[in-house]
A and B are shown apart, each in its own frame.
Chain A
Amino acid sequence: MKAVRKKRLVTVLVLLLTSGLGSMLIIKALDSNLDFFFTPSEIFKDELPDNKRIKVGGMVLENSVTRDGTNIIFKITDYKESIQVEFDGIVPDLFKEGSGVVVLGYLDNEILKAEKVLAKHDENYMPPSLDIEK
């Protein structure tokens, strides 16, 4: 390789390295700000103030869902802590016990008053018949 090309190669590598480092620092600074939701454990650890809009994500705890008209009460869990959620509205089709959920709302006496409920599904895809066999 000619000297001039070697020099250009080094320039390209330095370019990659510095932009990589720069973005790493930005990501480090943003840290958990890029998280889409808190887990129930994080809520209790950080003691978030009431009336602040937050998103909490986790699994819908089995046998915790009670419905009364359009009102729905359930618990979100990360299998360490769980938090009570109250919601008045329509939940997505994928909402069910034991599946993922993200709730947008605000805390009121350790109860999450939900404004919106989103369903979070995982990366598994299979036909329903296989699900029954397993």
Chain B
Amino acid sequence: MIKKFIHQFASPKTYLFQVDRAYPYIFYASLFVYIGSLFWGLFLTSEDFVQGNSYRIIYLHVPASFISQSLYLAMAFASAIFLIWKVKLSAYLVKSIAPIGAVTTFIALVSGSIWGIPTWGTWWAWDARIISTLILFIMYLGLISLHDSFTDYEKADKFLAILVIVGSVNIPIIKMSVEWWSTLHQTASITVTEKPAIDASMLYPLFGSIIGFSGIVFCLVILSSKLQILLREKNKSWVKDYV
């Protein structure tokens, strides 16, 4: 039964109909959560005891950084599924996640830079965390242009999936960079093993903003994958009925 379910959902057609149905719910729910959390974080929390009001950038920077790494892991996961089971849909997903990942990594880099001006006293530092995040951004761009440079989709999908898996080593490096090397960037405030280093009054809106932003970005992934499916399956009869 599970096999049947996977097979059905793995068909681009079923996927498209399912996400089309879920899209408005996800979009409005996460928009509500995101705007609410931003309002909470920007206006209802106290300023930070060291950074003052500039700390409020955390509600925009952390969700973007978190999701840009998560998207890469999702891409690597989809790549593995494509390489092992040859599920076409997962190849479409790999291709469609990459530009969204590039956008979120861009947001993470820019928001971090602006945050650095009032706190660190510089907008850029070549420390390990920032370098590895910049590499993530360049990797996203590289993966997009690599896939576009092929004329043969089948080869492009395979090549892309292999490179995504090779590049996934960068994710633990980003995560651990602040532990392994001395960096200007501070270490993680929220960890699995320890109590958060953020006061509860600031932590709840942060969680909210992460969840809300993730949902909005998920909607972008849905749109991007929809575009990819329409592009790649445009000669199928169901697509003609669909549009």
Q: Report which A residues bind B (CB closer than 8 A).
A: 5, 8-9, 11-12, 15-16, 19-20, 23, 27, 32, 34-37, 39, 57, 91-95, 99, 102, 116-131
User: How many A-B contacts at CB < 8 Å in the complex?
Assistant: 125
Q: Which residues of B contact A116 (CB under 8 A)?
A: 121-122
Q: Is A36 a contact of B181 with CB atoms below 8 Å?
A: yes
Q: How far is the CA of A95 from the CA of B121 in the complex (A)?
A: 9
A-B residue pairs, 10 tightest by C-beta: A92-B121, A127-B46, A126-B199, A36-B127, A131-B49, A123-B189, A19-B166, A125-B198, A128-B49, A35-B182
- Contact among A23, A118, A126, A128 for B125, CB-based, below 8 A: A118
Q: How far is the CA of A117 from the CA of B83 in the complex (A)?
A: 50
Q: Report which B residues bind A (CB closer than 8 A).
A: 45-52, 55, 58, 80, 83-85, 118-122, 125-128, 131, 162, 165-170, 173, 180-184, 186-189, 197-199, 201-202
Q: Which residues of A contact B197 (CB under 8 A)?
A: 122-125
Q: Which residues of B contact A124 (CB under 8 A)?
A: 50, 189, 197-198
Q: Which residues of A contact B131 (CB under 8 A)?
A: 34
Q: Is A118 a contact of B121 with CB atoms below 8 Å?
A: yes
Q: How far is the CA of A120 from the CA of B217 in the complex (A)?
A: 31
Q: Which residues of B contact A119 (CB under 8 A)?
A: 119-121
Q: How far is the CA of A57 from the CA of B120 in the complex (A)?
A: 13
- For the complex with contacts A36-B182, A92-B121, A127-B48, 4 further pairs of A-B residues with Cβ separation under 8 Å are A5-B85, A27-B173, A91-B121, A94-B51
Q: A15-B162, A126-B48 are in contact. Are A36 and B184 (CB under 8 A)?
A: yes
Q: A36-B128, A37-B182, A91-B121 are in contact. Are A9 and B84 (CB under 8 A)?
A: yes
Q: Is B46 a contact of A128 with CB atoms below 8 Å?
A: yes
Q: Which residues of A contact B162 (CB under 8 A)?
A: 15
Q: Which residues of B contact A127 (CB under 8 A)?
A: 45-49, 199, 201-202
Q: How far is the CA of A131 from the CA of B47 in the complex (A)?
A: 12
Q: Is A23 a contact of B173 with CB atoms below 8 Å?
A: yes
